[in-house]
């Protein structure tokens, strides 16, 4: 059903994975920040790659990560009306999500067939997408709303990639294949969902609204 679903099925899939992506960014990101976890950005990047990897395995469409990333970034933007903050407060974090998703779509356009065949290509695709996202973030994020940490790498791309990009790539190389495996397992159940489309639509819509509601609640806590 998933790989051959119509426009409504694909739209629901994008919203489903995108809302989960956004929830992971909001809840896990704020939670890790509160605990002072040192590899927060790397873990979040890897988690995002894993979620998008599951969708890639399910739909086999290279553009899917990009659309999921847009939804995930939009969930993060809920902080603007909920907390009454400026869009610039979330500009770079949303930019990071969008660049990560765009990079994975770009890599998938080239390597999707290989990703289907080999876990090593999936690992390489995750690492490459994360590194491309890091390069884009260095140059664009430096001009949008850079924090003091990012500014400390100004003019030092190799230092940023060695410190941050390499960690993003390592986590993504591990978690994208894991997400792909989850997507494959879901795909095995596709015939069951094909026979019960109303149940699939109801379950997908429920998870979407639940994820959005939980994201809004976490944002409202003001972490």
How close are the terminal C-alpha atoms of the chain, in Å?
A: 39
Q: Rounded CA gap, 97 and 103, in Å?
A: 10
Beta-carbon contacts of 201 under 8 Å, excluding residues fewer than 6 positions away, are: 8, 12
Contact 44, 25 (CB under 8 A): yes
Q: Is the pLDDT of residue 77 over 90?
A: yes
Q: What pLDDT score was predicted for residue 38?
A: 85
Contact 59, 3 (CB under 8 A): yes
Q: What pLDDT score was predicted for residue 221?
A: 86
The residue ranges of every structural domain in the chain are 7-128+166-220
Q: Rounded CA gap, 13 and 63, in Å?
A: 13
Q: In terms of pTM, does the model score above 0.85? A: yes
């Amino acid at each position: 059903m998933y790989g051959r679903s119509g426009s409504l099925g694909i739209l629901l899939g994008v919203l489903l994975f995108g809302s989960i992506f956004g929830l992971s960014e909001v809840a896990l990101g704020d939670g890790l920040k509160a605990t002072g976890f040192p590899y927060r950005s790397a873990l979040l990047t890897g988690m995002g790659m894993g979620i998008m990897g599951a969708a890639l395995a399910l739909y086999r469409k290279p553009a899917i990560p990009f659309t999921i990333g847009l939804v995930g970034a939009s969930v993060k933007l809920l902080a603007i009306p909920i907390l009454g903050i400026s869009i610039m407060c979330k500009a770079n974090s949303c930019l990071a999500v969008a660049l990560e998703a765009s990079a994975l779509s770009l890599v998938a356009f080239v390597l999707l067939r290989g990703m289907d065949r080999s876990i090593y290509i999936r690992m390489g695709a995750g690492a490459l997408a994360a590194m491309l996202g890091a390069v884009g973030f260095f140059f664009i994020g430096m001009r949008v709303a850079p924090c003091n940490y990012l500014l400390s790498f100004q003019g030092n791309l190799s230092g940023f990639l060695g410190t941050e990009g390499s960690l993003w790539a390592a986590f993504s190389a591990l978690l994208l294949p894991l997400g792909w495996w989850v997507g494959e397992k879901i795909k095995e159940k596709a015939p069951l969902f094909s026979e019960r489309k109303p149940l699939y639509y109801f379950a997908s819509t429920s998870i979407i609204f639940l994820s959005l509601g939980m994201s809004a609640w976490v944002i409202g806590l003001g972490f």
